[in-house]
Amino acid sequence: MIKIKNVRKIYQTGVVETHALRDVSLEIKDGEFVVVLGPSGSGKSTFLNVVSGLDSVTSGHIIVDDEVITDMSDKELTNFRRRKLGFIFQSYNLLSNLTVYENIEVGKNLSHNPIEIDELLEKIGMTIEKDKYPYQLSGGQQQRVSIARALAKNPSILFCDEPTGALDETTGKQVLEVLQRLNKELNTTIVIVTHNIAIKDIADKVIHMKSGEIYEIEDNQQKKLVEEISWS
């Protein structure tokens, strides 16, 4: 479980203060599929960065699986992220000189309790492409490989920053279908930050943000399958 208590994040530039997060409090349960929605500048990316320990808070506390990450040193945070978290970004960040299998292996080698690569290849529908290089793949296929790489170390939480932002609707849905299936089959907690309002319909919980604040938390009682949503 993730517990966020009265978190503030202020960026200081000279004498100018930018309040990126304003007294944010929230709980995310194990295995939940969470979507954080908001326009540019709403604080959603800052939210992801502080909750995942990529950035520090100005004040407040963040507790993940009973570990207070806001009290950790940089070294402790690095070890925590390695043990617990996976990350997927809009850019795929695959290593161009490695095959699909080898790119996923990079993630596997970070863990003492990894998921087998062949199992992940089957789950993302990329078994046939395992010996291909990134330049031989479509954008959607590359994003699926980045998902498998993040999941290979068997993280309890997967953070996704605009994972479909660079993809068209058809390809974006293929990526979301993989995430939805993995959430169900592996019980991985998934937190997606996006400005795409259509994605909220597949979430268990929707966090609406603006001006650094959470102004609404929506529990979705009628989740949809990815195939049922539309970008328009």
164-191 residue pLDDT tens: 887 788 888 888 888 898 899 889 999 9
Q: What is the C-alpha to C-alpha distance for residues 55 and 89, in angstroms, rounded to an integer?
A: 16
Structure tokens at 193: 């930050």
Residue matched to tokens 């978290």 = 85
Mean pLDDT value of segment 108-128: 87
CB 41 within 8 A of CB 208: no
Domains of the chain, first to last: 30-57+66-228 (3.40.50.300)
Q: Can you give the pTM of this predicted structure?
A: 0.87
Which position has the token pair 């043990």?
A: 83
Distances (CA, A) of 99 to 65, 96, 117, 146, 202: 34, 8, 13, 12, 32
Instruction: Write the DSSP symbol of residue 205.
Output: E
Contacts of 82 (CB under 8 A, 6+ apart): 110, 111, 153
| pLDDT surpassing 70 at residue 232 | no
**Mean confidence (pLDDT) of the chain:** 91
